[in-house]
Amino acid sequence: MRAIDRSKRSGTLLPCALVVLQSVLYGFGDPISKLAYDEVPLFTLLTVRYWIAFFALLLLFGRSVLRELKTASWRSLLPPCLCIATTYLISNLALVLTSATSVAFLRSLSTVVTPLLALLVFRQRLSRRLLPVYVLVVAGLYLLCGRGGLSGFGAGEICALLSAGLTAGALLFGERSLRGVSAAALTTVQAGMSALLALVCALIFEGGVRTDTISSLSWGIIAYLAVLCTAAGYLLQNLAMYTISARTVALLQCLCPVMTAVFSFFLLRERLSAAGLAGTALILTAVAAATRLDTPSGRPPETAA
């Protein structure tokens, strides 16, 4: 039995590392995004970012993706794509409407929303031994994000909560889609859907894509966000869900605000308070416990990336 348990844990080590890497990429992307948003309109930046990511993925996987999409079930493919495309638009809108600490806390609650949605929609039972882990995560996020940062509850907070729910949907529906398509195909369609929605928003709210305001520094930031945060980030997440569950991916993604805090310290000189350090410790403890308690999803992928 001990040998089997060690084998299961070693089998989840690599996919867990992929999600941790995704959190590191996102954590660096958050503070540098602030620099670009000072001169580039929100939906213009997102449009350029997602189209670059989409074409980069087509360049890498285009032929195999097109072959897969001819026989893929769009009924299972569209929900995770719509969820992930919508969540980032709403999340960025929340940043405009309310404080960053409120958004960081509420958006990260996708860690808890994911198992609840899995229980309600897909009837997936949550192991009782993971309940203390979720308590630690919520407490850690609350302390890390300025003790919740909630001075009120308005449109921005509603958008952030909606973003948490959509993130959970993207993970759960994506886990099911990966039974029939590769991670590369799902990632490419997700990036394409994000690009289309961002373009529509840019046309409606900004009168078009205004690239004339983008400096060379902002172009470099957008390139990082497109290639590493979107193309690579989506792909790392989808590859991980071949082996570990969407619920575990959501748990590991609570490292993202930790990584954001670390990079914000070096890039923006933002210092963590004692409460923030305590929250970081709780989150790291919860993640370590989750990786030991989780078991592989038990379904080999039908298609590989």
pLDDT in tens, 76-97: 899 999 999 999 889 878 876 7
Quick one: pLDDT at residue 6? 42
Task: Tell me 124's DSSP state.
Answer: P
Weakest-pLDDT range from 27-41, 52-66, 279-293: 279-293
Q: What angle do CA 300, 294, 24 make, to 5 degrees?
A: 90
Do 114 and 168 meet the contact criterion of CB atoms below 8 Å apart?
yes
Residue 124: how many CA atoms within 13 Å on its side-chain side? 15
- What letters, b where the CB count within 10 A reaches 16 and e where it falls short, cover 46-75? bbbbbbbbbbbbeeebeeebeebeeebeee
* Token pair in block for residue 199: 């373009």
Give the tens place of pLDDT for each residue, 163-203. Answer: 989 999 999 999 999 999 999 999 999 999 999 999 999 99
- Nearest-angstrom CA–CA distance, 139 and 147: 9
Q: Which of 115, 104, 179 is nearest to 141 (CA)?
A: 104
Q: Using CA atoms, how far apart are residues 277 and 203, in angstroms rounded to an integer? A: 42
State pTM to two decimals: 0.84
Nearest to 147 by CA among 233, 47, 272: 272
pLDDT for 150 equals 56
pLDDT band at 101 (very low <50, low <70, confident <90, very high): low
DSSP 8-state secondary structure symbol assigned to residue 228 = I
Element (H, E) at 242: none
Dist CA 18 CA 16 (whole Å):
5
Rounded CA-CA distance 45/29 in Å is 13
Residue 7: its pLDDT value, please?
39
In this structure, how many other beta carbons lie within 10 angstroms of the beta carbon of residue 208?
Answer: 13
Helix runs in 145-294, H state only: 155-177, 183-205, 216-224, 233-240, 246-252, 255-268, 274-293
Q: What percent of the chain has pLDDT over 90?
A: 41
Which has the minimum average pLDDT: 80-89, 120-129, 131-140, 198-207? 120-129
Secondary structure of residue 42 in the 3-state scheme: helix
The encoded tokens of residue 216 equal 């060379």
Mean pLDDT of the region 126-138: 81
Per-residue pLDDT for 294 more than 60?
Answer: no
